[in-house]
Amino acid sequence: KAGVTQTPRYLIKTRGQQVTLSCSPISGHRSVSWYQQTPGQGLQFLFEYFSETQRNKGNFPGRFSGRQFSNSRSEMNVSTLELGDSALYLCASSWGTPGNTIYFGEGSWLTVV
Amino acid sequence: GESVGLHLPTLSVQEGDNSIINCAYSNSASDYFIWYKQESGKGPQFIIDIRSNMDKRQGQRVTVLLNKTVKHLSLQIAATQPGDSAVYFCAETLGQTSYDKVIFGPGTSLSVIP
C-alpha cells in the first residue's frame, strides 16, 4: 500500500513568487492536513481538508491556502513568498474521524531566496 | 503558529540501554496522543499511540505511559539501537472537536552511542 506522496521534493523560489505543492494521500484516506516545519518553530499546523472542505485552520496568513479534490488529493499554495517561508512542508493523511492516526509524507523542501 | 517551544532537548544513550523520552502536553481536553520519530531528511513516522482512557500501551520495544493528572507523556525504548537515533515528537489531538488537528511538542533528539 503506497504511503503519502508529496511532490516536488525540493524546490527553490524567489521572493514574491508563488508556489504550489501537491499531496496524494494513502488510498482510502479522506483527510489531508498540512504542516510547516522549521528549526525555529517546530511543526506547525496549517490546515486540514476532509471531503474537499477545509475543516480546520492554523494561525497562518492568508497567503497560505489549500484545496482538496474529489479524489482526496490536495494542493497547498503560498503566494508572495517571503524568506521566512523557507521550510519543510509536510502533508499527512488519515481516515478523517476523531482519534485516527495521521501518516506523514516525506515532505517538500522549499527554499526562498 | 501553535507549536510549543524553540529549544530541542537532547538525550544521549549507550547502545543496548533503555531510553526514556518525556513530554508535557498542553491541553487537558486532549484525548489522543501519538509519538512520532523523524529521521534526518524524512517525514515523521508513527511509532505508537495511546488514548486518554489508558495509562500504558506497549508496542515492539516501545512503551508509552500517560499521566493525565500532570499532563505528562513518556516514551520508553528498550535496548536502544543506533537506528533509533532521530528526533522524537509527542503529539496531542483535540479529538472531540478538531479531528486531525494535531499539536506537536518541540521534539527530543535521541543520539545512540555505539
Asked if residues A37 and A46 have their Cβ atoms less than 8 Å apart, the reply is no
Contact A96 B93 (CB under 8 A): no
Residue B56 at interface with chain A, using a CB cutoff of 8 Å? no
Beta-carbon pairs below 8 A across chains A and B: 88
Could you give the 3-state DSSP secondary structure of residue B83?
helix
Tens-place pLDDT, residues A67-97 = 999 999 999 999 999 999 999 999 999 988 7
Give the pLDDT of residue A1.
Answer: 60
Tens-place pLDDT, residues B5-15 = 446 789 999 99
Query: Across the interface, which of A40, A55, A60 has its CB nearest the CB of B99?
Result: A55
Dihedral (C-alpha) B42, B15, A39, A33: value to the nearest 10 degrees? 40
Query: Across the interface, which of B43, B101, B106 has its CB nearest the CB of A42?
Result: B106
Give the pLDDT of residue A86.
Answer: 96
Tens-place pLDDT, residues B59-83 = 999 999 999 999 999 999 999 999 9
Tens-place pLDDT, residues B14-60 = 999 999 999 998 888 888 899 999 998 899 999 999 998 999 999 99
Contact A50 B99 (CB under 8 A): yes
Contact A59 B1 (CB under 8 A): yes
Query: Across the interface, which of B5, B49, B93 has its CB nearest the CB of A42?
Result: B5
Give the pLDDT of residue B45.
Answer: 94
Q: What percent of chain B stands above pLDDT 90?
A: 67
Residue A102 at interface with chain B, using a CB cutoff of 8 Å? yes
Amino acid at B84: D
Instruction: Name chain A contacts of B2, Cβ cutoff 8 Å.
Output: 44-45, 58-59
Rounded Cα gap, residues B94 and A79, in angstroms:
30
Instruction: Name chain B contacts of A36, Cβ cutoff 8 Å.
Output: 1
